[in-house]
Every structure is written in structure tokens, then in C-alpha cells.
Structure 1
């Protein structure tokens, strides 16, 4: 009788451990219903209301871009004093408030930096950590509050500062904005380039705890990327940014990476079924306007479907 009771107790313990393990896996798996899209960089008249919004996803617009450069024809760095460089005629503060009031699942953020400004490369150029952070916190707080925004995305791609300086500037900026209640989320947008990765990995090493999403630019890989290559790239970057919510990405300007025609959604479905997909983001709404946002609809349908 004692042996029988012991056997039953051990069996129940195994069941409980299995349930706990399964529950922990579900907790650790990324929430994969997040859709994000960059908007406003190309001034082609695209509006928030042009995009289809699936009510069953979390939807983030990312205004592109806010840049710490002057707005004059010969743009120059301003040491963290940010100005708005997106299409404000069509993406104004009132239009931000309107789209958020119409859709409870919509949040709007702004992206910092980008590839170019005023016809030249956009460089991260702080004079010092303290001065840049002070200026950035002040200027971005003003913009974020004026536009009723929810978060920031970091998309610097060229650097006049070493990785540790970049890490401290951006890390302290995000930390301060979050501590001040100015933003609720922050993301980074690296891609597979040695200089770019050295800066973002330094940031990740010390400030991963304040970064909510990794908008990895998988479309910066070669055009003609295959499904198996994409999965391999995704696994590599998941290892680089260990513990992060890694989003799959595509570009609708046909520039590179794994295209929908070559299996982007097949790859995303596979990652989602494995509990690895942190969401999908698209560059960009400006490019998608001409085709009626076909791939945005497909992306959101995939994310909204049960795993």
C-alpha cells in the first residue's frame, strides 16, 4: 500500500512538473500578434487611415524620422536636439490622436536617425554623453508630448562615435524617457553590418532590459534570400539579441531580403509555430501605398491567426 501511494505521488509530481514547464515555455515565448510599420519618410501623401488595421493585432505606426540635425538645406548635427523630418502635413498631431481614438489597438512611435538626411548620410554625432542625453531627453519629450506618441525606435545606421558612447547615450535616453513616463516602449533597428552590429550589440549588452522589441532589418540581406536562409538569419540574430522580441521584416520597395513571392509568409508561419516570432514589421507604408497594402493585410492575418 505504501509503495502504491508513493508511485501515485511520484506520477502526480511528474504531471505537475510537465505542466509547469509547459506554462513557463508559454510565458517565455514572444507575443506574436505585433505588427509595426514605418510611415512618412518619403512624403508621398500616405495617411494613417490609408492602412488596413486588423483589430486582432497590436498595431504600431513608426513615424520616420526624428533626427538630431538642422532642418536647413545644408543639414548639420545638433548634438541631440531633435527635429521632425516626416510628412507632417499628412501625419500631424491631430491625425495621431484621431487614429488612436478610432482604434484601441493602435500605438504610434517615432524612429530616430535613419539612413540619410539632406542628401547625405545621417550620423550619430554626440559631443559628449551628458550633453547629447540632456538635449535628446528635452527635445524628444517635447515632440512626443505634442504628437501624443507612445514610444521610440532607434534606427541610426552611421556613426561618428564608438560603440560604448552610442550604448550609453541611447541606453540613458531610453531609461530616462521610460522613468519619466514619457514612453511605454522602445525598439532598436539594427542590420547585418559589422559597424552597425558593434554599436547595437554594445547597447544590447548593457541596456537590453529597457528595449522591448528588435526590429531587425532582415530586408538588408541580399535580394533573393531563400526561406532556409531567412530562418538561419533569424536564428543567428535571436542568438545575438538573446532574450529579445525579434520581429521578422520585409521591405515593400523590393530592395532585398526574403520577399513575399519567395516565401516570407511561409517562413513567418514556421517561426510562429515554433513560438519564436516576435511579430512582423514592414518598411514602409509609403512604398506600399501604390499596391493597396496587400502585404500588410497578409501580415496581420497571419499574426491574428491562432498558433
Structure 2
């Protein structure tokens, strides 16, 4: 009889204390808005971008790259240099925008598509040497610029999945443990090689990754709202338990554009409590448009999130 009571008690306790996984995957909207900035050197500044006070706002400086800054840059095995427009997006300007807006955080993104006239390859000599160099070079930049987080946007690889997983996983873990960053994101897109690297990283280090900046604009142009929602469902399943953010590209060159139903899709996701945030590539291109879709995105995110 006592054994039976114990069993019943255990069953009841299990029922009222949900597992960590179910808590993590619980649907919830967010008012997070993120925008890449600085990759195209067209003099865009933080102060150009409209910022609502009732959203969580992340600027993502693009890019820090582990290459030297010569005209024909070569890989530097984790020694990162600044390749964003540091004249207009300087340490003092980071401090200024954060002082002016308490809801703003600033991150930097690693890698990107290209450097000078070639691809920006992920090309470490070894896991240990790359991690050691990356931790020290990035800690220096992050502290100099008073940054809050990092984003991983490598798109071309000269290393296998395991090497990428350990290099990036150990980097994020170490920077968090050292109190250098408070959040990290990854920026994959639907390409076989890209996905295989990021999904390997996710399987082992997903618990260290706060946001998935999935590049939905890398899909074909002119997709429909229902196709977009299908893609979102697929990537939510791939990055299981993660906060997959939706995205558009300012110049409308891919994916579902704001003029073709992007906000309809966002509203649908919001009604299902699956709108974990919106990010934009990029402020550099939005400047010519007067940032109208940034305003619309933030207005949507701010409504009873």
C-alpha cells in the first residue's frame, strides 16, 4: 500500500513539474527586433535607424572576420579584425546609442559571405589554436566597443562539421562564462552545406545559443505567405527548442518581402504565439527607403507581445 502511494505521488509530481525541454519549447511571442548594420560602408549610423522604446532592439555590426585587412586578405586562424564601417559605427557611437536608448544592445557578427573580392571562409588550423585566438581577439574588440553579444554568420567552410561545432561552441561557451557576452545567435540558411554545419553545432551547443537568425530571405524571391509559413515550420523543427526569428531583406531581392505579405505571415505567427522576433538585412540598404519597414516591424512586435 505504501509503495502504491509513493508511486501515485511520483506520478502526480511528474505531471506538475514539466521538463526543461517543454519549458524551452513553450510558445511565446517576443518583442525582439534585430538589424544588421555596417557591411556596405554607405555612412549609415545607429542614429539613422528609428528605435521604439517598447521593443527589445539589437544592432548587429557586420562583420568581424578572422582575416587580415590587406587587399588580398588571408585567413588568420581566429584573430578577428573589424570589417564594418568603423568610422560611422565607432566605440563612442555604440556608447552614445546605448545611453540614449536603454532598450538597445549591440552585437557583432562573425564571418559573413565575403571579404574584399573573395569568400570569407571558416578555415581554422586546429580547434585549440582557433578558439584561443578567437577568445582573445574578440574579447578585446567586444570590450573596446562595449558590445553585448555575438552572431555567427559563416557561410563558406574549409573545415568539417565537428571542427566548426567545437570552435564555435567553445568560443560562445567561453565568452559567456567569462561574462564578455550575454547572448549569442547563429544565422544559417537553407543550403545543404550551411545547414549541416549549423545543425551539428545546434545538436551539441544549442543550449548556449539564444536566437536563430534564420535567413528566410535566402529562399527564392516571390514565395507566398503559406510557403513562408511552411519554411518557418521546417526550420523550427530543425532548430528544435530554439527561438527562430523571421526575416526580410531590405532590397526585396529574396524571400517574402514586406510589400508581398511578410507582415501577414508575422501576424499569423503572432496569433499562434510563435513570433520570436524579426530581423532585417540590412540598415545599410533600408536607409534609402527611410526605414519604413523597420517602423512597421517594431509596431507589430510592440502590440501586446
1:211 to 197, 209, 214: 209
2:88 corresponds in structure 1 to: 90
1:252 corresponds in structure 2 to: 250
Q: CA–CA distance in 2 between the matches of 1:30 and 1:163?
A: 31
Task: Map 1:184-199 to 2 at 5 A.
Answer: 184-199=182-197
Q: Say which SS state the counterpart of residue 133 (structure 1) adopts.
A: helix
Unaligned runs of 5+ in 1: 1-16
Indicate conservation of the 8 Å contact 2:66/2:77, yes or no.
yes
2:56 corresponds in structure 1 to: 58
1:229 corresponds in structure 2 to: 227
1:261 Cα offset (Å): 1.2
Q: CA–CA distance in 2 between the matches of 1:248 and 1:92?
A: 28
Task: Map 1:55-204 to 2 at 5 A.
Answer: 55-204=53-202
Q: Say which SS state the counterpart of residue 243 (structure 1) adopts.
A: coil
Q: CA–CA distance in 1 between the matches of 2:178 and 2:251?
A: 37
User: Considering only aligned residues, what root-mean-square deviation do their CA atoms show, in Å?
Assistant: 1.5
1:262 Cα offset (Å): 1.0
Q: CA–CA distance in 1 between the matches of 2:26 and 2:54?
A: 21
1:29 Cα offset (Å): 2.3
| CA separation of 1:68 and 1:262: change in aligned 2, threshold 3 A | same
2:10 corresponds in structure 1 to: none
Q: CA–CA distance in 1 between the matches of 2:297 and 2:175?
A: 30
Unaligned runs of 5+ in 2: 1-14
Deviation >3 Å, runs of 4+: 24-27
Indicate conservation of the 8 Å contact 2:60/2:107, yes or no.
yes
1:5 corresponds in structure 2 to: none
TM-score using structure 1 length = 0.91
Indicate conservation of the 8 Å contact 1:214/1:247, yes or no.
yes
1:25 Cα offset (Å): 7.5
Indicate conservation of the 8 Å contact 2:122/2:157, yes or no.
yes
Q: Deviations over 1:200-236 (max 9, x none)?
A: 0000000000000000000000000110000000000
Indicate conservation of the 8 Å contact 1:30/1:245, yes or no.
no
Q: CA–CA distance in 1 between the matches of 2:230 and 2:189?
A: 14
Indicate conservation of the 8 Å contact 2:25/2:241, yes or no.
no
Q: CA–CA distance in 2 between the matches of 1:38 and 1:163?
A: 26
Q: CA–CA distance in 1 between the matches of 2:130 and 2:117?
A: 23
Q: Say which SS state the counterpart of residue 41 (structure 1) adopts.
A: coil
1:195 Cα offset (Å): 0.0
- The answer to whether residue 281 in structure 2 is matched with residue 283 in structure 1 is yes
| CA separation of 1:189 and 1:249: change in aligned 2, threshold 3 A | same
| CA separation of 1:25 and 1:274: change in aligned 2, threshold 3 A | farther
Q: Say which SS state the counterpart of residue 247 (structure 1) adopts.
A: strand
1:267 Cα offset (Å): 0.2
TM-score using structure 2 length = 0.92
- The answer to whether residue 26 in structure 2 is matched with residue 28 in structure 1 is yes
Q: CA–CA distance in 1 between the matches of 2:162 and 2:46?
A: 37
Q: CA–CA distance in 2 between the matches of 1:27 and 1:215?
A: 17
Indicate conservation of the 8 Å contact 1:112/1:156, yes or no.
yes
| CA separation of 1:229 and 1:83: change in aligned 2, threshold 3 A | same
Q: CA–CA distance in 2 between the matches of 1:83 and 1:279?
A: 29
Q: CA–CA distance in 2 between the matches of 1:275 and 1:241?
A: 17
1:32 Cα offset (Å): 1.3
